[in-house]
Structure 1
Amino acid sequence: MFVSSVGRRAPQASRVWNRHLDLASLNRNRFYSSASNKVRIVEVGPRDGLQNEKLPIPPAVKAELINRLGQAGMRDIEAGSFVSPKWVPQMAGTAEVLSLIDPIPNTNYSVLVPNQKGLDEVLHLLSPSNSPDSKPPPPITEVAIFTAATDAFSQANTNVSISASLERLAPVARAALDAGLKVRGYVSVIITCPYSGRVDPRRVRDVSKELLQMGCYEVSLGDTTGAGTPASVRAVLEEVGKEIDASLLAGHFHDTNGTALANIQTALDLGLRSFDASVGGLGGCPYSPGATGNVATEDIVYALTGESTYGEIGEPYPTASDVTVPKETKWDIGPASLSSLAETGAWISTILGRETTSRAGRAFMARKERERRLAEKAQSKL
C-alpha cells in the first residue's frame, strides 16, 4: 500500500518544499477560484493527443497544429514532451517543433518531462545563446511532471513504483522552480487502473498532496481509462477535497464511455475550474487498453458556452413569458473560438486519416458544408 513520504522528510528539506508550496499558492494569477465563472481549458492535443499515433508526424505539422490552436484562442497549450524516443517515438523532435512555433502573446506553452534528463533538455533550449544568428529560445514557461495513483500503472508507465517516481520527481520540480519555470503535476488512473482495478480515492489524495508539496501550482487528476461516472468522480473529488482546495486541481477526463462532459459538470459543481482537453478528441493511452481519446476541446467549449448560439426563441407558446432565455453564457472560457477549433480538429484528423471524434466539431463542419452547398445552389440560379 502506498504510504505518503511527507512525514519522512528532514526538517531542512521540509522548509524548502514548504517554500515552494507557498510560492505556488501565491503565484496563481492565471488560475481561478472555485467561486469564479472563469474556466481554463488546457489544450493537450499536441502532446497527449498525438503521442500514441503509429505513423510519424512531421515536426512542421505539429508546429502548425500548435499555431492553429493559438490562433483559435487557446491560451494554455501543451506543446510536446522530452521523453525517450525509445518509449514514445512520436515525441521525438519536440525541440524542432518548438523552434517552429509562432508564439502568441499571453499564451502559456508547456512541455512534459519525466525525469531530470528531460528537464535538462528543456533548460538547455531555454539557455541564452551567444550567437547573434540563432533564434530566440522557445516560449516555454512551464513543465509538467507525472505519476499515478497505483503502483501497477506506475510500473507499466515508468518502470518504478509511486514512491520511487515521487522521489525521482522531487529534484526535477525543485530545479524547474529554481530556473523560473512553473510546474504542473499529473496523477493518472484516479478512478480505475487497467492492471489493479478500482482505485482508492485516498491514494489520489495522498499523491496529489505530494505533488503540491513539491511546488506544483496545480495537479491534474486523470481518468485515464475513461471509466469514471459522475458518482465515482464526485467520490474521488470529495475525498481529495478534504485536504486540497479545488482551485489547486484540474480534471483530465477521457471519453471512453461517453461520460467525460458529465464528469466535467460534476467537477465544476465541486469547484474545479481547470480542465484538460484535446482538439478533435485526439489521444488515448498505450497502457490502458481500450481507452479512447481525451474529451474534445470543441465539446467542452460548446457545453460551456453553446447556449449563446441558440438565438432568440421563435413562435413561442402563449406561456413563453415564463421561459428563461439565457442572455449570456454562464462560463467565461476566454477567447476560445468554437468555429476555429472545429476547423482545426477536422484539419488534423484529416491528416491522420480519420474523422474528428468531436461531436460539436462534426456538427459544426456539417452545418458549414450544408451552407456551402446552399450557397452554390443559390449561385447556380443566378
Structure 2
Amino acid sequence: MRLARPLRLLYVQVLLAMVLGMSLGHFWPSAGALLKPLSDAFVGLVRMMIAPIVFCTIVLGITSLASGKAIGRTIVQALALFYFLTAVALAFGLVTAFVLRPGAGMHVDVHQLDVGILAPYTKHAQTRGLVEFALSVIPETMLGAFEKGDVLPVLLLSLVFGFALNGCPKAARPVLALIDGVAQALFRVLALIMRLAPLGAFGAMAFTVGRFGIRSVGSLGMLMVSFYVACVLFVALVLALLARLHGFALWRLLRYMREELLIVLATSSTEPVLPRLIGKLEALGCDKGVVGLVLPAGYSFNLDGTAIYLTLASLFIAQACDVPLSAQQIATMLAVMLLTSKGAAGVSGSGLVALVATLTVIPDLPVAGVALLVGIDRFMSEARALTSVISNACAVIFVSMWEGACDRARLARMLGAAEPAAPD
C-alpha cells in the first residue's frame, strides 16, 4: 500500500517524526534519553559524505570558472560578506542583551558554580592565533584532509587540485569525467541516506526532551527568549532586506529549503544538510563554481547564529554575575569574537566551545559563568544552526549575483514553484 502523497514528502515525514520523538521523550523520558544513537548515526552517515562531495563540487566548480582572477574575486567577495554579516550578528546579540537584560537580578556567585561540567568544552577551546589557525588548515597528507572530515583542509586541497587541472586541460579531461561520475554517485548515495532523516529526527527530539525536559529551562528562560528574538530579528531584518535588495523574497527561499531547515531543527546541526544544499542552490541557478567555493567556506567563516550567541551569552554572564563592563572592554570582546566565531563547527555544542574560547582571553568575565548555560545550550543550538544555514544559503545567492553567475529567471521560477524539486 502506497502512502498518501503528503506523507511521501520528506519534510512531512521529518515533522511527524519530531512530534513523535517529543511525545516519547515527554511521556517516557527514560526511553527517549536512550535514543540519541539514532540521531548520532544519521549525522555520522551524512558527515561521512561531506568531504568527498565538497572535494568533487569544488574541483568541478573551479574548472568551470576557468579564470583564476574570477576565483580570487569570488573568494574575496565571500569573505568580505561573511565578516560583514558576522559583525552585524554580533551587534544584534549585543543590543538584545542590553535591551532585554536576561541576566539582570540573578546575582550569581561564580564560586558556587560547578565548573567540572565545562571539561568537555574547555579541552576543545584552546585559543589560536592567525598563524596557528592557518597552519591547522594544511592537512598532514592528501588523504588526511578527508580523514577528520573538516571542511577547511578539504577546501584547500580542492583549490590546489582544481588549479592544477586548469593548468593541464588536455590531461584534465578524463580526470574531470571521473570526478563528475563520482560526484553523481555520491549524491545518489546521499539521497538514499536522507531517507533515514525522519529516524534521525525522531531520535534527536526524543533524546532532547527525555534527557533535559522543559524543567531544565527554569529561570534561564529569559535568556532563551532573548536569543530566539535576536535570531529572528537578524533573519527578518538583515537577511530579508538584503534578499529584497537582490530581487527575491527570503520567505520563498525558506519555503524552498523547508526540508533542510527541519533536519537542522531536529539535529541541531548544519552539517547534515551541506551536501544537499549544494545541489539545491545549483538547482536555483547559482553557478556550480560559486556554490562550491562559497557554501563550504561559509560553514567555517559565516556562523552568524554562533556570533549572536557569543555576545548575548557573554553579556548574560556579566549581568548574572554582577560584572560591570566598560565600553572599551566590550569593544575588545567584540574584536575577539570576530576571530573565535570563525572555524567553529556547525554541530551541537560548538557554541559553548566558542564561548569558552572567547572568555579565556577576556579576563574581565568569569569562564565559570559558562556553567550556567550548559543545561539549556541544547535548546538554543537549534536557533544557532538555523540562523547560520539560512545566512549561508543567502550568501551563496548574493555572491552568485555579484559575479553574474546566477540565472535570475531560473531563480524566480524555482522559488515560485509550488513544490520545488529536490536534487537527486
> Which TM-score band applies after superposition, normalised by the shorter structure?
under 0.3
Tell me which protein shows more strand as a share of its residues: 1
* TM, length-normalised to structure 1: 0.25
Between 1 and 2, higher relative CO (CA 8 Å, sep ≥ 6) is seen in 2
* TM, length-normalised to structure 2: 0.23
